[in-house]
Structure 1
Amino acid sequence: MTVSQPIIVWFRQDLRIADNPALHHAAQSGRPIIPVFVLDDVTPGIWKAGGATRWWLHHSLTQLSDSLRQRGLSLLLRRGPGDVVIADLAEQVGAAELVWNRCYEPYAVDRDTRLKAALKGRVMATSFKAALLNEPWEVLTGQGTPYKVFTPYWRAALAVTAPDRPLPAPDRLLPWPGDLTGDALADWQLLPTKPDWAAGLRRAWSDGEGVGERAAAVRLAQFLSNGAANYALGRDVPGIDGTSRLSPHLHFGEISPRQIWNAAKMAGESVNETFKVQIDSFLREIGWREFSHSLLYHFPTLPERPLSASFEAFPWTRDDTSLAAWQRGQTGYPIVDAGMRQLWVTGWMHNRVRMIVGSLLVKHLLLPWQAGERWFWDTLVDADLANNAAGWQWIGGCGADAAPYFRVFNPVLQGQKFDPDGRYVRQWVPELKHMPDKYIHTPWTAPPVVLRGAGVTLGRDYPAPIIDHALGRQRALDAFATIRSSDPV
């Protein structure tokens, strides 16, 4: 093989230039580089991207393409089964090597295995760790089994987590001089047309300027300068900007966990011990992401089936009317409805509120956690298969390290505790904006004179609660009693 033979860099969930091990390896090889992204929505077992993530992907690929162009490369876009498209491309250009950064979804593992087998003896195929601090097989119990409880997992992970410094972005990359035909990004129709439901996403993420590698770096810097100082408390208050909002950037690989880890650790060491505690609390959330990916890798049916076998027999209900009310933010519980409307408009929801809305769905309404998982998958810009599945199984009480099923969040008390002045509710449920604080989370208890003064007629302007909390809680406990004699995970 000659040095003129190209090296293919297959971009996937790593849409960045800096701290990209596959791209760094290609740059160091001295070979001409062909960067490619494949829109793969047909590989068996794949979870096809939902509407919100397709919107984000369009803008992220636009940003990546611009960054590569500034360094001399043109991003090739193709569509189809990833292993087939890449194998065909490697043969077409006579590639010397193919590199990519690893993904851990079951279909991705199977696809990459097939590709390596197909290329064996013809093209060198090398993969790298870039999406996680630790590989799923690097943090195991003393018996060599995967952890099913987060705290011991994270304790073990911290013992081996010593990330190197992030790799720098290459200044210049050597292009391959041949001619290749690819798709135009617009032809993929990732953006909605009719109806155009993305106006809220455009507002929330600055018309796509809030997407991509540069936006992720800015967001991290802003968080470490502001929200991080009060993160342990601020992360539970949805009415303020107290979280990093880095989850979509992490999912698409616009920023790496290693970049976040190093920047956060440096910030924590440069201020004081109190700030360091806040940073450690933030990095624990990075740890939960690592734990979720470990679970998905070791338990590939995580998105479809409960980890706790006893929940296979749980008496879930089917109630399309209640599901639709939950999806539209019309449950009659203001904190829940605020969260569901924030999700629909912006493609993102505050983490504390995700737990509250999930609890109402699976416990009060007895609707299966998979229904919530599917809705989040379609509406979240940070719809990550591992995080989404692990989170919903946690809420449902059927997963690893799950909240006990008998712990049923009271949506009224949750709203009063975490949104005491109703700021979050008033932003996303504007029909209640004139309700006094005393009744903002319980409008159905307000005297008629208060409702009139706030311009609210229950049942017309805002619904009564879809189910009484006490009734819903007891129904959930009764349902749980039917399976609790089964063996746990």
Structure 2
Amino acid sequence: MKPVLVLMNGALRLDDHPALAKACATGAPVIPVFILDDAAAGDWKLGGAKRWWLRESLIALSSELESKGSALVRRSGNTLDILMALIEETGAGALHMTRAYEPHLAKLQDAVYDLAEELGVTCRRFAGNLLLEPEQVRNKTGGVYEVFSPFWRRALELIDGTTPTPAPEDIPAPETWPESYTLDLDPKPAHWAEPIAAFWTPGEAAAHERLADFLDGPVAEYKDMRDIPSVDATSRLSPYLANGEISPRRIWHEAMIARGEESAREKGADWFLRELGWREFSTHLLFNFPHIPERPLKSKFAAFPWREGYDDAVTAWQKGQTGFPIIDAGMRQLWQTGWMHNRVRMIVASFLVKDMLWHWRTGEDWFWDTLVDADLANNAASWQWVAGCGADAAPYFRIFNPVTQGEKFDPKGAYIREYVPELKDLPDEYIHAPFEAPVGVLKMAGITLGKTYPKPMLDRKAARERALAALESTKGE
């Protein structure tokens, strides 16, 4: 039988992998392939953090495949040229891949499909990275949902209890393997990945372990504790989902089993799955409004007078040197771990686009480069949500106060003390606003504002007034 090529891009796993499972079911030799095609990604070439993650994930995937008697063929370059060469080299009669929803990847997959047709190769595209396909969730008039709650209510009516397909016991191997190459996935600067590597273990096995640990414990407190950044109460599965190391259907299935009849566990699981729903919603938005990574969904915000480009103020925000502790803690957590707590993501984003009045794309670009869970749909939809210009967006006039947000969600300053250690000796009452602390208190804590810790980079009252005035300028649009 002619071999089946399985393009593993977007689904770096063996469990609940329809494209791989169907290939194995044919009984033909199966050749898993991963292609790094930076040129096809255009402006959305993988960021530094995700390149590191991908490197480690491919190592893990190769090991898993080898345990099944298989291997991973790795190539770098033009996807169409590489597939054409592999089809000729292996005599493959079929090509399977997992459906992508990002505009540039969907376009590339269309081209792959056309190439396969030209070569007389059967090409199949399988769902696998969403609970529901974008075409399935429509409102009563057949339109697209732009508000999350009705979207999720409809999705809950459609999601079925289909059991995910387990990883194949063995994967039929070809008589000879195509050559595989080392990919250039080293992050730059190289030392940046060292603290990230200490924090994360990429790969499918780690994803399943993380899910099991979460469902065994923290899920029961998820509803009440998910907004507290100093507590490990969230699943931290986002990078595994973003890199295709675990499927949302597997997470859904295991979470539904774990719900049980205990009230707290049931509520916690339901709130957790709701967050999975936000991921679905973001992808559905990107599919239906493919311009949202670059342009606002609400057209009136096209004229909004955001600042653009980069200067010292943006650098201070990126490095966690704004003088507002909860902002600085979040940005330093991002740099040190490649991840940031979701509540803090909202706070730092609000600060950039509303207090600093900087364009949301500036933050979108920084998150794309520094997050191990960088996802085009989530990133674009979330930044537009905070900026007030996206679907179901927070009203623009809702401007998070970093001091009161810190007091509410990090009341003892545990999160701040972990990531802004120069403030660790401040009393709780001043940890969120060291600029309000008496000189004597600062001296006892070993702090000199402007030297050991920055003075506030802006006057929040003036910043708020400036932001609201900017909003007024769009009212006539």
Partner of 2:343: 352
Residue 192 of structure 2 is aligned to residue 200 of structure 1: no
Alpha-carbon contact 2:221-2:264 (below 8 Å) kept: no
Partner of 2:56: 59
Residue 225 of structure 2 is aligned to residue 230 of structure 1: no
Residue 12 of structure 2 is aligned to residue 15 of structure 1: yes
1:393-433 deviations in whole A, cap 9, x for unaligned?
Answer: 00110001110101000000000000000000000000000
Residue 422 of structure 2 is aligned to residue 409 of structure 1: no
Change (3 A) 1:251 1:193: closer
Superposition pairs of residues 177-326 of structure 1, within 5 angstroms = 177-184=175-182, 188-192=183-187, 195-205=190-200, 210-268=201-259, 270-318=260-308, 320-326=311-317
Partner of 1:116: 113
For these two proteins, the number of residue pairs brought into alignment is 475
Say which of 3, 6, 9 aligns to 1:6. 3
**2-side partners of 1:323 and 1:277: how far apart?**
40
Structure 1 residue identity aligned to 2:207? A
Residue 379 of structure 2 is aligned to residue 388 of structure 1: yes
Superposition pairs of residues 96-111 of structure 1, within 5 angstroms = 96-111=93-108
- In the TM superposition, residue 179 of structure 1 has moved relative to its aligned partner by 4.0
Say which of 71, 75, 85 aligns to 2:72. 75
**1-side partners of 2:14 and 2:6: how far apart?**
12
Alpha-carbon contact 1:87-1:115 (below 8 Å) kept: no
Superposition pairs of residues 137-176 of structure 1, within 5 angstroms = 137-176=135-174
- In the TM superposition, residue 178 of structure 1 has moved relative to its aligned partner by 2.4
Say which of 449, 453, 477 aligns to 2:468. 477
Consecutive unaligned residues in structure 2, runs of 5 or more: none
- In the TM superposition, residue 465 of structure 1 has moved relative to its aligned partner by 1.1
Cα RMSD (Å):
1.2
**2-side partners of 1:100 and 1:317: how far apart?**
41
Alpha-carbon contact 2:95-2:116 (below 8 Å) kept: no
Which segment is superposed worse, 169-178 or 81-90? 81-90
**1-side partners of 2:106 and 2:184: how far apart?**
27
**2-side partners of 1:416 and 1:326: how far apart?**
20
Say which of 128, 141, 157 aligns to 2:126. 128
Q: What secondary structure sits across from 1:42 in the alignment?
A: helix
Partner of 1:464: 455
TM-score by length of 2: 0.98
1:37-66 deviations in whole A, cap 9, x for unaligned?
Answer: 000111164510000000000110000000
Which segment is superposed worse, 279-288 or 155-164? 155-164
**2-side partners of 1:154 and 1:192: how far apart?**
37
Alpha-carbon contact 2:41-2:105 (below 8 Å) kept: no
- In the TM superposition, residue 470 of structure 1 has moved relative to its aligned partner by 1.3
Partner of 1:48: 45
Which segment is superposed worse, 78-87 or 49-58? 78-87
TM-score by length of 1: 0.95
Q: What secondary structure sits across from 1:217 in the alignment?
A: helix
- In the TM superposition, residue 141 of structure 1 has moved relative to its aligned partner by 1.4
Alpha-carbon contact 2:130-2:248 (below 8 Å) kept: yes
**1-side partners of 2:82 and 2:301: how far apart?**
40
**2-side partners of 1:161 and 1:108: how far apart?**
25
Partner of 1:30: 27
Partner of 2:441: 450
Structure 2 residue identity aligned to 1:18? D
**1-side partners of 2:352 and 2:188: how far apart?**
31
- In the TM superposition, residue 191 of structure 1 has moved relative to its aligned partner by 2.4
- In the TM superposition, residue 274 of structure 1 has moved relative to its aligned partner by 2.9
Alpha-carbon contact 1:83-1:112 (below 8 Å) kept: no
**2-side partners of 1:351 and 1:64: how far apart?**
28
Which segment is superposed worse, 259-268 or 143-152? 143-152
Q: What secondary structure sits across from 1:136 in the alignment?
A: coil
Structure 2 residue identity aligned to 1:144? G
Alpha-carbon contact 1:359-1:396 (below 8 Å) kept: yes
Consecutive unaligned residues in structure 1, runs of 5 or more: none
- In the TM superposition, residue 9 of structure 1 has moved relative to its aligned partner by 0.6
Alpha-carbon contact 1:133-1:163 (below 8 Å) kept: no
Q: What secondary structure sits across from 1:120 in the alignment?
A: helix
Alpha-carbon contact 1:46-1:107 (below 8 Å) kept: no
**2-side partners of 1:76 and 1:44: how far apart?**
20
**2-side partners of 1:283 and 1:169: how far apart?**
23
Percent sequence identity is 50
**2-side partners of 1:271 and 1:463: how far apart?**
50
Residue 391 of structure 2 is aligned to residue 400 of structure 1: yes
Change (3 A) 1:475 1:142: same
